Amino acid sequence: GENVEQHPSTLSVQEGDSAVIKCTYSDSASNYFPWYKQELGKGPQLIIDIRSNVGEKKDQRIAVTLNKTAKHFSLHITETQPEDSAVYFCAATFGRAGSYQLTFGKGTKLSVIP
Amino acid sequence: GAGVSQSPRYKVAKRGQDVALRCDPISGHVSLFWYQQALGQGPEFLTYFQNEAQLDKSGLPSDRFFAERPEGSVSTLKIQRTQQEDSAVYLCASSLYERRQETQYFGPGTRLLVL
């Protein structure tokens, strides 16, 4: 079935350094790849997304890259700040007709050390 | 405008009790999703509504789970005869249209604990 693998499961970086989280997906028909940030006790919040007609998208300190041939996409956070500490989830929508739900990775707990 | 809201935020139930969880999507959003998030895991799909029509319920784990959205806005997820394995955070999300590349906006979730 549809599957999204996410690595690493935990990541610690010094404030100001960059953080990279990688995901792979199984369905080559996938065409939408959002990234969510979830803080303790809150619902997931969209931080950036990418659609399959582009290879890279950037929004201030956050960027996402997509390699459809290899079926993987990555989140890059530059100049990390303590408030970036949270759990990050990648997700994908799959190609089954009438299927609009997201399939999520298992999450990456990012800790930014001041 | 207001985001997705869910109530209650926390629910403690004794095993065997029935529970009802409410979701108020963003006004005008056509699509509504329910997800279940176990501790330390990513959200997993339960069911999908397009307006009042439940088009996909393939993720519901058993026939004890039932969802409805009778007027195409507010939705209720009902769990009958709750079991300990039902303990999780139940997330609701809505999106403006019924397209695969549409952004889904999540509510804060209802944390269910079954004792």
The string of DSSP codes covering chain A is: ---EEEE-SEEEEETTS-EEEEEEES-TT--EEEEEEE-TTS--EEEEEEETT-SEEEETTEEEEEETTTTEEEEEE-S--GGG-EEEEEEEE--STT---EEE---EEEEEE-
Q: What is the mean pLDDT of chain A?
A: 93
Amino acid (1-letter code) at residue B83: Q
pLDDT of A95 higher than 70: no
Residue A96: what pLDDT? Answer: 67
Mean pLDDT for the stretch of residues B96-100: 80
Q: Give, in order, the Cα–Cα distances in Å from A41 to each of A4, A8, A99, B111.
A: 24, 22, 28, 9
Alpha carbon distance B59, B35 (integer Å): 9
- List Cβ neighbours of A53 (8 Å cut-off, separation of 6 or more): none
Backbone dihedral region of B70: left (phi > 0), alpha (psi from -120 to 50 degrees) or beta? alpha
pLDDT in tens, B34-65: 999 999 999 999 999 999 999 999 999 999 99
Contact A43 B100 (CB under 8 A): no
Residue A15: what pLDDT? Answer: 98
Closest partner residue to A31 (CB to CB) among B31, B91, B100 is B100
User: Which residues from A are below 8 Å from B56, CB to CB?
Assistant: 98-101
Residue B2: what pLDDT? Answer: 83
| Residue in this structure with the two tokens 């979730």, named with its chain if needed | B109
pLDDT in tens, A5-52: 999 999 999 999 999 999 999 988 888 999 999 999 999 999 999 988
pLDDT of A54 higher than 70: yes
Alpha carbon distance A82, A16 (integer Å): 9
Q: What is the mean pLDDT of chain B?
A: 95
Judging by DSSP bridges, how do beta strands B110-114 and B10-13 pair with one another?
A: parallel
User: Which one of B4, B45, B104, B105 would you mutate to disrupt binding with A, by most A Cβ within 10 Å of its Cβ?
Assistant: B104
Q: Kindly state the tokens that stand for B15.
A: 């095993």
Residue A1: what pLDDT? Answer: 66
Q: Are B69 and B75 in contact (CB under 8 A)?
A: yes
pLDDT of B6 higher than 90: yes
Query: Percent of chain B scored above 70 by pLDDT?
Result: 99
